[in-house]
Chains A and B, each alone.
Chain A
Amino acid sequence: MSFVDNLLIGMETAFSWYNLFYCFVGVFMGTLLGVIPGIGVLAAISMLFPMTFHLEPTAALIMLAGIWYGTSYGGSTASILLNVPGTPSSAVTCLDGYPMAQQGRGGVALLMTTVASFFGGSFGIILLMSLASTISHYALSFSSAEYFALMLLGLVAASNISGGSLLKGLIMVAFGILFGTVGSDIYTGTRRFDFGVLDLADGINLVALAMGLFGVAEVIASIGKVDGGQVDRNSLRLAAMKPTRDDLRRSWLPMLRGSSIGSFFGTLPGTGPSIAAFLAYATERRIAREPERFGKGAIEGIVAPEAANNAADQTAFIPTMALGIPGSATMALMLGALMIHGIAPGPQLMTEQPSLFWGLVVSFWIGNVLLVILNVPLIGLWVRLLMVPYHLLFPAVLMFVCIGTYSVNHSAFDVLVVTLFGAFGYAMRVLGFPAAPLLLGFVLGPMMEEHFRRAMLLSRGDFMTFVERPISATVLAFTVLVLLLGLRPLLRVFRKAA
């Protein structure tokens, strides 16, 4: 099928009223939860996850994706106006966005981040459209050995880069895989780690785990630390948003560079929008003619990272959709949604379900346009939300967490699982362990086990199968490289101690 045919299928799907509505709901909720500090993307998605069970799979994915890139738009609002990042990926935007707001240029900053976000998002979507089908075409010849190698790379990269020490990341991955083994074994049907509890026969509920780990742990950590703030209302009038000629001239190239950096890091496993935004900022600062302007309200310092994180949001779908291998915890949740609807992720997805993939891609465009509309004229609404005190907000959030989890299976047991993972997640957070690798391990673990066991069965127990196949060998070489890079700081400690 040609590109145009695919695009037509996508448009037909995405422009149906049903899907348009859920695209709108997704980006609206994404912006809403992105604006509120103390609720990150993962918490937002896991909270709204149960809602998608009642939808058609395409609409479910469109909505979840809308939440995902919607939070990136919303997150920058809190960064600029309050100096508190609404989401981690917009943390860098504080550096120059807040000084701009203090100088009375908050309106310009808000408008330009929206423009940059749209630019970056569109850039990423074009790449996604042109690369995904090519990659999935090659991936059709992958066997279990390649899949196992790719998943291993994803997990190692995620534990290495998502901040903090490699060891802690790997530990969380191992926890995730272990939690993923709970329930019936796919080959023999043996119930593992169910301790006679019937509710565990199908494994730990993904929604409950994500809600506890991200929603609840995040709420606990934010109580007493986040609060509604004072906002200068003057900067929010449309007239105050008009950028000067100088602003526009300075923004062009940073947006382009930011989009390229973001697109690249979005596709890599384990990196994602936060790192992309930081690198885009660092790059701008390094190549700037007057680096001393940065941190004092330089417009380049907000447009480059915002373009980068939105581009990364979109290109993150390339490995997820083309290979069925999520590069980040959020993408793992997207795959989880697909699997709950009985759709097997993988390279055959795009040929078997063209309306799902292309509908999703076209919905990204629609969603990005909707976000521009939501963010420019409606900015006042979001700002009013910023001023709702957190101590009145979080009980409501918890209520939605509880009812949301309960409603999936009408299971009070799942709500108890939320409590358990809330406690676990908060404890790990206090001790400095990153939570995202756990979720990635939890979703990838069962797939990895399946592929590993199949690869061993096919090779008659010969480990050489991973090295003899060229693609698998290359991927494993990369994995080792990433591991070594991560080990460097540890070795330094050793040398110092010796």
Chain B
Amino acid sequence: MSQRNYQDAASGLLIAVFGVAVSLYAVNQYNIGSIQRMGPGMFPVAMGVGLGVLGALLALFAWLRPGLRDGMSVQWRPALLVLGAIGFFALAVTFSGLIPAVLGVVLISALADSKTRPRQALLLATALAVLAYLIFQLALDMNFDLF
């Protein structure tokens, strides 16, 4: 039996909607100009339309295509923890300084892999914080706030 490729169909539709939204936004916000004298809006609108058409085509073909793609497996835990760790760095480096930011990014991201023992993570974080201080502050003289 032919199975539909729902992943591609859904992502194609989402992309098409995004493309249309971008074009509408660009049409309203920026001057399109003429073909001869293009305004800042022309290229964004063209790309939005392009995404709309391509996304719709992708969805259409996925709907017609027999056979299912290999199951999609999202690694939720690594994804969220790694992204969270980087987000934490951005905040910590602004409101605090380099050392807390490094400790945070290492400790949070270390949780992403269940193989890491708490003690290992602590040791690693300390070692990397020292390393970061040595490389970026002392050797490269980048002038970070430390704490």
Contacts and interface: CB of A to CB of B under 8 A. Distances in A.
Contacts of A493: 61, 64-65
B61 A395 contact: no
Contacts of B87: 416, 419
27 contacts: A167-B61, A170-B54, A177-B43, A178-B44, A178-B47, A181-B47, A216-B86, A223-B82, A224-B78, A391-B115, A392-B116, A395-B110, A396-B106, A396-B128, A398-B82, A399-B128, A402-B102, A406-B90, A416-B90, A419-B86, A430-B74, A431-B11, A432-B8, A460-B36, A493-B65, A494-B64, A496-B66
B86 A401 contact: yes
B22 A224 contact: no
Nearest 8 A-B pairs (CB), nearest first?
Answer: A461-B36, A185-B40, A415-B90, A391-B113, A223-B78, A497-B64, A461-B35, A190-B40
A18 B73 CA distance: 47
B83 A395 contact: no
Given A178-B44, A192-B40, A426-B79, A402 B89 contact: yes
Contacts of A221: 75
B43 A449 contact: yes
Contacts of B140: 54, 407
A391 to B, nearest CB: 4
Nearest to A422: B83
B128 A456 contact: no
Contact of B136 (A185, A390, A403): A403
Contacts of A294: none
Give the interface size bracket for A toward B. 35 or more
Contacts of A287: none
Contacts of A419: 83, 86-87, 90
Given A190-B40, A403-B132, A171 B101 contact: no
B28 interface: no
A187 B57 CA distance: 33
A485 B90 CA distance: 45
Given A178-B48, A223-B112, A403-B132, A422 B106 contact: no
Contacts of A220: 75, 78-79, 82-83, 112
A104 B112 CA distance: 36
B3 interface: no
A434 B89 CA distance: 28
Main secondary structure of the interface of A (DSSP, over half): helix
Given A181-B44, A192-B30, A399 B105 contact: yes
A188 interface: yes
Contact of A398 (B36, B40, B86): B86
A422 B64 contact: no
A415 B93 contact: yes
A402 B101 CA distance: 9
A430 B93 contact: no
B50 interface: yes
Contacts of B124: 392, 395-396
A15 interface: no
Nearest to B91: A412
Contact of A389 (B94, B115, B125, B128): B115
Contacts of B7: 431-432
Contacts of A175: 51
A88 B85 CA distance: 27
B64 to A, nearest CB: 4
A197 interface: no
Interface in B11-61: 11, 15, 19, 22, 26, 30-31, 34-40, 42-44, 47-48, 50-51, 54-55, 57-58, 61
A431 B58 CA distance: 12
Interface in B95-146: 98, 101-102, 105-106, 109-110, 112-116, 120-121, 124-125, 128, 132, 136, 140, 142
